[in-house]
Amino acid sequence: MVLELINNVITGLFGVLFWPLRILPPLWALIVVSVVTGAVMVWIFGRLSRQDQIGRVKDQIRGKLFGVRLYQHEIGVVLRFQRQILRHTLTYMTLSLLPMVVLLIPLSLVIVQLNLYFANRPLRPGEQALVKVTVGDLSLLHNTPLALKGDRSFVVETPPVRAVAANEVAWRIRALEPGRHSLKVQIGDREVEKDLQIGARWGAVSSLRTASWLDFLLYPAEPRLEAQTGISAVEIVYKTLPLQLLGWNLDWLIVFFVLSVVAGFALKGVLGVQL
C-alpha cells in the first residue's frame, strides 16, 4: 500500500513536469530531461560527497603524474610514484562510492518514469495490437470463458488464442478513437482493467499492468493486480516510440545516459563540483 502510494505520487509529479514538454518533439524533450537530470545529479553529488578531500586527492594524483613525466628515466622513482597514484586513486574511488550509490536511487526512479514516456508510443487510430494476458492458474485457460471488453475505442478482431505452455491468452485489437481508454479482461467471473492509449501525440504509455512487485516497480503507472484474480499480467504490445536524428534510429536509454553524463561533466565547473 505504501509502495503504491509512493509510485502514485512520483508518477503524478512526473506527469506535471512533463506537461510543458509535450509541445516538443520527443527527442528534444528527452534532450531537455537528460541535460537537467545530469545537472541535478552532479549538484546532488556535490552536496553528498567530501568535496575538499576529493579536490586534495585529485591534486595529489596530478602532482604524481607530473613527477612520472619529470623523472621518467628514473625507474625506481617512477615505480614509487605509480604506487602512490594507485593508492590515491583508490582513495578517490572510496570517496566517490557512497554518493554514487545514493544517487542510484533517484536515478532509478527517473529511468522508470522516462520509460513510460519514451519507450512506446500510443496506438494510432486504425492500428492493430496484441493484448496478452498471463495467468498464474493454468486451470483458467481450460474450459473457462474468456472475453476482452471495452468501449467503442477499439474492436476485438480475433477470438482468444490460448498458449498453455506460456500461461498466456491473447487477442488482436484494432484502435478506433483517440484518447485514454480502458479495456477489460474477463476470465470466468474474474475481471481486471487495463489502460489503453490511442492517439497521434506522444506521452505516458503504460504497456503492462502486473501482479508482481518487481514488475510493479518497473511499470508503476497502473495499480498492481490483486493476486486473487488469478491474472498475473495484462500487456498491450505497443510500437516503439521513434527517436530519429539525421536518419538514425536512437535508443532513448542510450541517449539519456550519454547526454546526462556529458551535461554533468560540462556543468560541474558552473556548479562548483569536483568529480
On whether both 228 and 197 belong to a single domain, the answer is yes
On whether both 53 and 146 belong to a single domain, the answer is no
Q: Which residue has the cell 498466456?
A: 168
The pLDDT value recorded for residue 187 is 82
The pLDDT value recorded for residue 32 is 94
Q: Are 44 and 271 in contact (CB under 8 A)?
A: no
Q: Using CA atoms, how far apart are residues 33 and 114, in angstroms rounded to an integer?
A: 9
On whether both 217 and 265 belong to a single domain, the answer is no
The pLDDT value recorded for residue 1 is 62
Q: What is the dihedral of CA 40, 42, 48, 52, to 10 degrees?
A: -140
The pLDDT value recorded for residue 8 is 79
Longest dimension (CA), the chain: 84
The pLDDT value recorded for residue 69 is 80
The pLDDT value recorded for residue 68 is 73
Is 108 among the domain residues?
yes
Q: Are 57 and 64 in contact (CB under 8 A)?
A: no
On whether both 6 and 112 belong to a single domain, the answer is yes
Q: Is the Cα torsion angle 160, 161, 166, 167 positive or negative in sign?
A: positive
Q: Which residue has the cell 535508443?
A: 251
Distances in Å between the Cα of 172 and the Cα atoms of 70, 108, 159, 198 are: 71, 33, 8, 15
Ranges of the chain whose pLDDT falls below 70: 1-3
Q: Which amino acid is at 182?
A: S
On whether both 26 and 72 belong to a single domain, the answer is yes
Q: Which residues pair with 233 in a beta bridge?
A: 134, 210
* Residue-number span of the structural domain to which 222 is assigned: 128-236
On whether both 68 and 142 belong to a single domain, the answer is no
**Number of domains forming the structure of the chain:** 2
Q: Using CA atoms, how far apart are residues 108 and 222, in angstroms rounded to an integer?
A: 18
Q: Using CA atoms, how far apart are residues 173 and 98, in angstroms rounded to an integer?
A: 49
User: Three cell numbers at 198?
Assistant: 490511442
The pLDDT value recorded for residue 150 is 82
pTM (two decimals)? 0.84
Distances in Å between the Cα of 238 and the Cα atoms of 43, 132, 192, 220 are: 36, 11, 19, 17
Q: Using CA atoms, how far apart are residues 120 and 116, in angstroms rounded to an integer?
A: 7
